[in-house]
Amino acid sequence: MLRIDELEAALPSMTQWRVPGGRDVDWAALDAVLGTALPSDFRALAEAYPVLVIDDFLMVSSPTPGAEASWAAASREDEILEDLYEMDDTEGYVPFPQPGGLISWANSNSGDSFYWKTSPADPDAWPVVVRTDNADWIEFPVGAVEFLAGVYGRTIDVPGMPGDFPGESPKVLGLSDRVD
């Protein structure tokens, strides 16, 4: 399992958004509403960083402390994935909470979706599944942090993405945890 520092090496501009002392996400509350634990690499990322927007293109979701239940509920109620499933346009993938169902963890401003496939039982072994805006479904045998580090470190290629993805010097924006 890849560590956060390896992702930071691939995306050095993200380090300015690291939250000193961590974000204190209530994982027990999130897990209870979601109905499953999430991979430890993502938990580490979410503890260290708020929602991240990379190159004004890719938004990596992160639960906000105090609003874990809404993040979990939104992950369980992915309307776009549900619609694709009902239209039989998921190439055999199913929405969570079905066994092996998909849980979203990122999306792009072009309509690409990034999921975990919740199989096998160990969340740390869940692969990343990408549905491109071109309706291609691609599975990667890595976790979210390793996937991001690979994409931005240029060791993982995602077919069907825009030609300028990833950018030469990706800029990262961290979105505030403030809930007003």
pLDDT, tens only, 145-161: 999 999 999 999 998 88
Q: If you ran DSSP here, which 8-state letter would residue 124 be given?
A: G
Token pair of 68 as six digits: 């874990």
Check residue 180 and give its pLDDT: 43
H/E segment holding residue 63: none
Q: How many CB atoms lie within 10 A of CB 74?
A: 15
- Greater confidence, 43 or 133? 43
Query: At 1, is the pLDDT very low, low, confident or very high (cuts 50, 70, 90)?
Result: very low
Q: What is the share, in percent, of the chain residues with pLDDT greater than 90?
A: 69
CB 71 within 8 A of CB 92: no
Band of the pLDDT at 162, cuts 50, 70, 90? confident
Instruction: Look at residue 177 in the predicted model and tell me its pLDDT.
Output: 60
Per-residue pLDDT of 45-90, as tens digits, reads 999 999 999 998 999 999 999 999 999 988 878 888 999 999 999 9
* Residue-level pLDDT at 98: 92
CB 93, CB 104: distance < 8 Å? no
Structure tokens at 158: 């995602």
pLDDT mean over 132-151: 93
Using CB atoms within 10 Å of the CB of residue 166, give its burial: 0 to 12 exposed, 13 to 18 middle, 19+ buried.
buried
Rounded (5°) CA angle 68-73-79 = 140
What integer pLDDT is reported at residue 42 of this predicted model? 95
For all residues of the chain together, what is the average pLDDT?
Answer: 90
What does the alpha-carbon distance between residue 17 and residue 171 come to, in Å, rounded to a whole number? 11
> CA–CA separation, 168 vs 173, rounded Å?
16
